Amino acid sequence: MLYYLLNFSNFVKPLPCINNEFTGALIKGTDIVWLTFPRYDSPSVFSSILDPQRGGHFFITGEVAKQEYLVPNVLLTTLKDGSEITDLLLHGEHGLVRKIVAKNPLKVSILPVFNYGKSPATIERLSDKVFKFSNPESSEFLEVHLLFDKLDQISENSWTVYGEGYIYMGYFKDDRFGIFGKRQLKFDVARGFERTIAYWRNTMKRGRSKGKIAEIEIEGYTGDQLLEAYQTSVGILLGLLYNPTGAIVAAPTTSLPEVEGGSRNWDYRFAWVRDSSIVAEALISAGFSAEARRIIEFFSRMVSFTSKPFIYPLYSIDGSVPPKEEEIPWLSGYENSKPVRIGNAAAGQLQLDLEGFFLDAFFKYYEATGDENYIRSHLDVIEYIADWVSENWKLEDVGIWEERGVQGHYIHSKVMMWVALDRAGKLMNAIGKENPWKETRHEIKEWVLQNGVSNGIFVKKVGSNEVDAALLTLPIYGFIDVQDETFLNTLREIENQLLYKGQLKRYKRDFLGEAKYPFVLASLWLARVYIRLGRIQEAKNIIKGILDATQGIYLVGEHIDPDRKEFTGNYPQAFAQANLILALDELAEAEKKEDKS
């Protein structure tokens, strides 16, 4: 335990993340520092990333020489003595497996703390190799099997292991479902381990773009490395999809701060309409239309016919109303960043861009598949969304950045309402139906051009002279040509006001004060705009800066500190990871066209 506490202070992101379409874990070296069971939005069983003393740990001794993904969501850690640890979350189960090949004896220490670090597990020895870690405040427990030929117990929660073997940790709701002494069927951890690796390997074979990504040239990165970054990004998004419903979490973590020691700490373990639609777009681009359709279908089921189509900007991953935002006072927070929060108060905000992102993803699915029957089976949803937008586009909202207590006519929101009507009309045309929303779509565009421009530039919101990074989406989503003079003026202002050491802030300040770090999504939007303008090297520079900060793991966070080349905020961040995919795809297409010319 002493070794664990002494070494945690050297924590540096990025960390590898493993997922299994139920939940996810972050791993620092040989230590699992974040894991929730049974779902992404469940209370944690390991949360030492938020409090190294109270959060609990699953630690294996040894100095790390190298970490790499065998396939997405399967992590191989090689120690300096040649020992290997392979970590994964089992497919179809609420279970973790750590395969160990020990060249020398290794010490293992396991101490879950349930309820976000509040309830240390009670420990019961079921046999020489099976242990039960129970939540003292409920019936749930973790059953741990140490499957080694030779094993020495050091204390009630630590052991020395020798040679090759597996550590299995399964989550169970109550005593009806444990494995020890209750299953007549064979319990084969090795088989589950190998089959899970095969599942991810076979899943990744279904994608496309492999060849063209490997042909991109970015300084410091080979084609194979760029392909690995691309495949890792796709795999992590597939892992973040909650398989029972098709919802996808914005990130598997909560309260990793935007600024260390600050209060910008939020819970992202929910399905945002906006973020999820961006992920669906990226998966379609990568050749995973079936998975993207699951995301689209989840949100189709969420559309309300009594009020705003998406009543909430975010939903719990089972489709229920998001929980109330609360603070966890007993955790110290990452690097003493308080408060630690669970739930997210943004669920109560009015955000008007959501329907546009959703229908854009829907239309891109149709473009990729030609599935007219899917349009016909969702006509009620498409028509209701477009009708509601037509009737309500003049409302004020809080905008894409979810500022609390600040409403206005945000230009990005108006543009995405235009996108909603544009895509709805195109979907109608695809099946031979009339588009009844043409006039309103034109009205929105004229309103934006008249009210959203000041001194020759588009502005963040009506009445403001500021720009924000969301204005970069105007050409990306087809509202205006990328060569439009007003947009080019806006782009120059964005560059002048928001660029910091090659990366882009989303705005200068908000209700909490100055925005300290660039926003990865904003940087990648800028890269995508540069690609459309033919400013290829500038786009590559942005992508390179982001890849440098991944330190070869290729997972990206919400914010980036260009000075330290580190990410901040919740991690890995789905919509940023998705835009890395889109940027690489668009870069590959641009270079292909350049070669032909």
Give residue 279's pLDDT band: very low, low, confident or very high (50, 70, 90).
very high
pTM tops 0.85: yes
Contacts (Cβ under 8 Å, ≥6 apart) of 515: 505, 506, 507, 508, 509
**Of 580, 490, 461, which Cα lies nearest the Cα of 527?**
580
The pLDDT of residue 8: 37
Contacts (Cβ under 8 Å, ≥6 apart) of 31: 4, 8, 48, 57, 58, 59, 60
Contacts (Cβ under 8 Å, ≥6 apart) of 442: none
Interior CA angle at 286 toward 281 and 290, to 5°? 70
CB atoms within 10 A of CB 5: 12
The pLDDT of residue 11: 37
Instruction: Report yes or no: 97 and 193 within 8 Å, Cβ to Cβ.
Output: yes
Tell me the per-residue pLDDT of 15-66, one tens digit each, with 9 for 90 and over: 999 999 999 999 999 999 999 999 999 999 999 999 999 999 999 999 999 9
What is the full DSSP assignment across 148-207?
A: -SEEEEEETTEEEEEEEEEEEEEEESSTTS--TTT--S---HHHHHHHHHHHHHHHHTT-
Tell me the per-residue pLDDT of 505-562, one tens digit each, with 9 for 90 and over: 999 877 666 778 999 999 999 999 999 999 999 999 999 999 999 999 999 999 999 9
Instruction: Report yes or no: 346 and 314 within 8 Å, Cβ to Cβ.
Output: yes
Q: Once rounded to an integer, what is the mean pLDDT over residues 354-358?
A: 98
Residue 128's region, left for phi above 0, alpha for psi from -120 to 50, else beta, is alpha
Tell me the per-residue pLDDT of 175-224, one tens digit each, with 9 for 90 and over: 888 887 665 567 899 999 999 999 999 999 988 756 689 999 999 999 99
The pLDDT of residue 432: 97
**Of 291, 293, 285, which Cα lies nearest the Cα of 210?**
285
Can you read off the two tokens belonging to residue 567?
Answer: 């990410």
**Dihedral, CA of residue 241, residue 246, residue 248 and residue 254, to nearest 10:** -90
What average pLDDT does the structure give for the chain? 94
Interior CA angle at 190 toward 201 and 183, to 5°? 125
- Say how far apart CA 79 and CA 462 lie, in whole Å: 57
Burial class (CB in 10 A: 0-12, 13-18, 19+), 155: exposed
